[in-house]
């Protein structure tokens, strides 16, 4: 097709797989990330257009919106990470708690809010917004899970705002997906096995599972699906 697609966090893992899926269909695909070198290499590999941008920085997001053309058909807010997995040791006491929670809210909630706010006016009728949450939102004892739960709640309201313009907004909530940089090599084999054991189909998710679901949500067959959370987790969390 000849759609214009923006995938934030498109330099690695799920975002790169999503970008490649749309590009394989002939769409024009913009990808973002903070590390310009890695972004450039990924974009060259999948024939996408790189725009370096930290989705938590309002100035950079405004520049991203300026660099995109006037029109957009698909926005995928993939940029996100569990900041609790960063190497820097957290400050102590309540100041530390505050900083840690703000980091995850910035990375996973406000990143999507800022990008969507900056570019939503470009979305053409028939367009779609896909936010990316996490199965962690269902067991939100962490700031990461709470941020992803808030993202899901915000997506439902966003759907009601963009719906009258012929645009859909949904959230994909992945379970454990292998072959990404999400865990920075910190996932123990025991924990990995437990995550796979929790599924009904006995396997880890693959980036293609998320890419194909995102592609479907942007397709003509999904026009009446909006305001929803779609769980892609092999049954590790069921909605009933």
Ligand X SMILES: NC(=O)c1ccc[n+]([C@@H]2O[C@H](COP(=O)([O-])OP(=O)(O)OC[C@H]3O[C@@H](n4cnc5c(N)ncnc54)[C@H](OP(=O)(O)O)[C@@H]3O)[C@@H](O)[C@H]2O)c1
Residues in binding contact with ligand X, number by CB under 6 A: 30
User: Which residue, 176, 229, 214, is CA-closest to 77?
Assistant: 214
Map tokens 């719906």 to a residue: 163
Is 126 in contact with 171 (CB distance < 8 Å)?
A: no
x-or-dash string of contact with ligand X, 123-152, rule CB under 6 A: ---------x-x------------------
Find the part of the chain contacting ligand X (CB under 6 A) among 10-18, 90-98, 121-129, 161-169: 10-18
Is 107 in contact with 67 (CB distance < 8 Å)?
A: no
- Residue 182, interface with ligand X (CB under 6 A)? yes
Find the part of the chain contacting ligand X (CB under 6 A) among 28-36, 117-125, 159-167, 215-223: 28-36
What residues contact residue 23 under an 8 Å CB cut-off, 6+ apart?
Answer: 29, 46, 47, 48
- C-alpha–C-alpha distance, residues 53 and 103, integer Å: 17
- C-alpha–C-alpha distance, residues 34 and 98, integer Å: 24
**Helical axes 93-105 vs 143-162, angle rounded to 10°:** 40
Please give the residues from 189 up to 208 whose contact with ligand X meets the rule CB under 6 A: none
Among 22, 30, 176, 215, binds ligand X (CB under 6 A): 176
Shortest Cβ 7–ligand X spacing (Å): 9
Sign of the CA dihedral running 26, 28, 32, 37: positive
Closest CB to ligand X among 80 and 127? 80
- Residue 28, interface with ligand X (CB under 6 A)? no
144 is catalytic: yes
From 12, 29, 32, 144, the catalytic residue: 144
- Residue 78, interface with ligand X (CB under 6 A)? yes
Question: Phi, psi at residue 51, to the nearest 5°?
Answer: -135, 110
Among 28, 104, 111, 155, binds ligand X (CB under 6 A): 111
Shortest Cβ 91–ligand X spacing (Å): 20
Among 24, 35, 91, 193, binds ligand X (CB under 6 A): 35
Which runs of consecutive H residues, i.e. helices, occur in the chain? 13-24, 36-46, 58-67, 93-105, 111-119, 143-162, 189-197, 207-217
Name the residues that contact ligand X, by CB under 6 A.
8-9, 11-15, 32-35, 38, 53-56, 78-81, 107, 111, 132, 134, 174, 176-177, 180-182
Q: Looking at the annotation, which residues are catalytic?
A: 144
């Amino acid at each position: 097709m000849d759609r214009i697609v923006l995938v934030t966090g498109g330099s690695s893992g799920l975002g790169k797989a999503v970008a490649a899926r749309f590009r394989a269909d002939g769409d024009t695909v913009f990808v973002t990330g903070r590390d310009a070198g890695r972004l450039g290499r990924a974009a060259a590999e999948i024939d996408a257009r790189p725009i370096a941008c930290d989705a938590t920085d309002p100035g950079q997001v405004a520049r991203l919106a300026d660099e995109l053309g006037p029109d957009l058909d698909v926005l995928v807010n993939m940029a996100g990470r569990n900041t609790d997995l960063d190497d820097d040791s957290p400050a102590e006491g309540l100041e530390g708690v505050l900083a840690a929670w703000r980091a995850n809210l910035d990375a996973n909630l406000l990143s999507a809010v800022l990008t969507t706010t900056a570019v939503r006016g470009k979305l053409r009728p028939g367009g779609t917004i896909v936010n990316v949450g996490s199965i962690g939102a269902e067991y939100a004892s962490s700031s990461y899970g709470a941020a992803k739960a808030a993202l899901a709640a915000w997506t439902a309201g966003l759907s009601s705002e963009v719906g009258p313009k012929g645009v859909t907004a949904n959230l994909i909530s992945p379970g454990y997906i292998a072959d990404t940089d999400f865990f920075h090599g910190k996932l123990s084999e025991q924990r990995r096995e437990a995550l796979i054991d929790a599924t009904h189909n006995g396997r880890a998710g693959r980036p293609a599972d998320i890419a194909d679901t995102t592609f479907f949500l942007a397709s003509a067959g999904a026009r009446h699906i909006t305001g929803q959370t779609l769980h892609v987790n092999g049954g590790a969390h069921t909605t009933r």
